[in-house]
Amino acid sequence: MTTEPTAVAPAPQAQQPQAQAAAPARTRRVGKVRGAPWILLAPFLALFVLTVLGPVILAVVQSFTKINRAGLFGEQGVSGGFAGLANYAQALGDSNFLGAIGRVLLFGIVQVPVMTVFATVLALLLESASARWPAFFRAAYFLPYGIPGVIATILWSFLYVPGLSPIVDVGKLVGLDIDFLGPNTVLWSIANIVTWTYTGYNMLIMIAQLKSIPSEIYEAARVDGASPLRIAAAIQLPLIRPALILSIVFSIIGTLQLFAEPLVLRTVSPAIVTEYTPNLSAYTNAFAYNDYGIASAEAVIIAVAAFVLSFGFLAWTNRRGRS
């Protein structure tokens, strides 16, 4: 028996226009799907360009410009021009600005390790098995971070100013002349305020890392007879190393941005000059002397120093981690 080949029926001519019409519609849908992330990101990108990228570019451009004032006070006209690297040379040649950089570096060398140790100890204690009311104490230690730096400095100034401070009065009763606002002590009075404010914040970063450690590791260590101190030294501290590095990098950047605390304490401490910190120096040049070129150059130098120190610390820790 033979079978005749069946002919393939051609597509109805009515379906071809529909397929041709569906292709552009599919293309439009794909285009909308691809453009959706940019539409969702548009508000953030607009704010980022307006409040972050734009001011950064403006500061960099202004750092290469100068303002020429004709007359004693510029009453005969003001003109701008290209200054090249003159603003950077003047900023780096200013002994007050260099002294401010050295002051915050000393501040960071002492304050950052002290705060990191406090935050680590508090995190380990609150995550230990014998901790009582850990949620309450977490909130209590984090509370200072919610207080603005200006308000915190005003509160602490009541404990620093002689005649108002009960600490100074008690010191006098036992024969101690305590001066929290003197030239040799005011930097550490500022360090005390910063430590009080940010220890709880860094503690929460480490607690978040501690909570990610699997409970099986703790159980295995206890079965092996490890003490709480041994568990902290051999398990918890190595495993929270990324959180420690993150906390220290944030602290390095924050140290170079020290501004509100010395600005407020300057009203009660003559030892704090107008160029006490790099940020305070840039602020003074911009808004007291109207020298935006020098102020912008100092701001760029501060940003570059923060990047170099943070990147150098990360490179050093990564090299030690690999070794």
Q: Hey, how many other C-beta atoms are within 10 angstroms of the C-beta on 310?
A: 16
Per-residue confidence at 82, pLDDT binned at 50, 70, 90? confident
Mean pLDDT across the chain, nearest whole number? Answer: 87
To which H or E segment does residue 228 belong?
Answer: helix 228-231
Higher pLDDT, 176 or 323: 176
Per-residue confidence at 14, pLDDT binned at 50, 70, 90? low
Percent of the chain with pLDDT over 70: 90
What local confidence, expressed as pLDDT, does residue 1 receive? Answer: 43
206 near 243, Cβ under 8 Å? yes
- The CATH architecture that domain 102-320 belongs to is Orthogonal Bundle (1.10)
Q: For residue 261, what are the CA distances in angstroms to 98, 136, 155?
A: 20, 28, 11
Dump pLDDT digits (tens) for 275-294: 999 999 999 999 988 888 99
76 near 160, Cβ under 8 Å? no
Per-residue confidence at 154, pLDDT binned at 50, 70, 90? very high
Return d(Cα 243, Cα 202) in angstroms, integer. 9
Nearest to 258 by CA among 88, 100, 97, 87: 100
pLDDT over 70 at 89, yes or no: yes
Return d(Cα 91, Cα 65) in angstroms, integer. 14
pLDDT over 90 at 76, yes or no: no
Residue 65: exposure state from Cβ atoms within 10 A (0-12, 13-18, ≥19): middle
Residue 266: exposure state from Cβ atoms within 10 A (0-12, 13-18, ≥19): middle
How remote is the C-alpha of 164 from its chain's centroid? 33
Q: For residue 114, what are the CA distances in angstroms to 106, 119, 248, 267?
A: 13, 9, 11, 27
Percent of the chain with pLDDT over 90: 57
What local confidence, expressed as pLDDT, does residue 79 receive? Answer: 77
What local confidence, expressed as pLDDT, does residue 298 receive? Answer: 93
pLDDT over 90 at 54, yes or no: yes
What does the pLDDT average to over 79-105?
90
**Identity (one letter) of the amino acid at 93?**
G
What local confidence, expressed as pLDDT, does residue 15 receive? Answer: 59
Buried b (16+ CB within 10 A) or exposed e, 11-22: eeeeeeeeeeee
What local confidence, expressed as pLDDT, does residue 57 receive? Answer: 93
Indicate the DSSP class of residue 145. Answer: G
pLDDT over 80 at 5, yes or no: no
Number of residues that make up the chain: 323
260 near 153, Cβ under 8 Å? yes
What local confidence, expressed as pLDDT, does residue 12 receive? Answer: 54
Return d(Cα 33, Cα 40) in angstroms, integer. 11
**Which token pair is 198?**
């940010």
Nearest to 252 by CA among 189, 202, 298: 202
Q: How large is the C-alpha radius of gyration of the chain? A: 31
Return d(Cα 302, Cα 304) in angstroms, integer. 6
Indicate the DSSP class of residue 50. Answer: I
Per-residue confidence at 17, pLDDT binned at 50, 70, 90? low
Dump pLDDT digits (tens) for 126-153: 988 788 898 999 999 999 999 998 999 9
pLDDT over 60 at 4, yes or no: no
The pTM (predicted TM-score) of the whole model is 0.81
- 70 Cβ contact list (under 8 Å, min separation 6): 76, 77, 78, 79
Per-residue confidence at 305, pLDDT binned at 50, 70, 90? very high
pLDDT over 70 at 51, yes or no: yes
What local confidence, expressed as pLDDT, does residue 3 receive? Answer: 47
For the CA atoms of 299, 154, 114, 311, what is the dihedral angle to 10 degrees? -20
pLDDT over 50 at 40, yes or no: yes
